[in-house]
Amino acid sequence: MHVTMKSALAAIEAARKEAVKLKTQMCIAVVDSGANLKAFVRMDDAWVGSIDIAIKKAKTAVYFGMPTGEIGKLSQPGGSLFGIEHSNDGLITFPGGLPIVDEEGVLVGAIGVSGSSVENDHKVAAAGLKVVGICDLPQHPWRT
């Protein structure tokens, strides 16, 4: 199951509004459950370098079915997943990427945001997620 275009655009629009409220300029990406890009918007004056980070955050969140920041906790020096960022053509493991889980507990995609502090990135991603789903997957086994 995949996030629909309509949902992806609704998530991006809600995220964009939050970004405006926070007086930030963001790149906002939505990928489907196969980690393939579904929709993307770069606000005017957002960092060019955030394009790839927003997309990679969304991909990372769907790759492992969890918020990107959770992976980052485990990938620090000495952590159990140190260096995981070298996989999958590059992961981004700090906050700003959230899985999109539908009402039946199915992972249907993810949203990734980049352009400000990670706190703001996370807030904007959460605002986008809120209108289309939640980010908590049920305990394994969950379905894709």
Residue with smaller CB distance to a copy of itself, 21 or 143: 143
- Count of residues in contact with a copy of itself, rule CB under 8 A: 63
Instruction: Answer yes or no: are the C-beta atoms of 54 and 96 closer than 8 Å.
Output: yes
Residue with smaller CB distance to a copy of itself, 4 or 130: 4
Residue of 113, 21, 132 lying closest to 67 (CA atoms): 113
58 interacts with a copy of itself by CB under 8 A: no
φ and ψ at residue 64, rounded to 5 degrees? -125, 10
122 interacts with a copy of itself by CB under 8 A: no
10 interacts with a copy of itself by CB under 8 A: no
- Candidates 21, 88, 105, 138; binder of a copy of itself (CB under 8 A) is 88
Residue of 135, 61, 133, 140 lying closest to 103 (CA atoms): 133
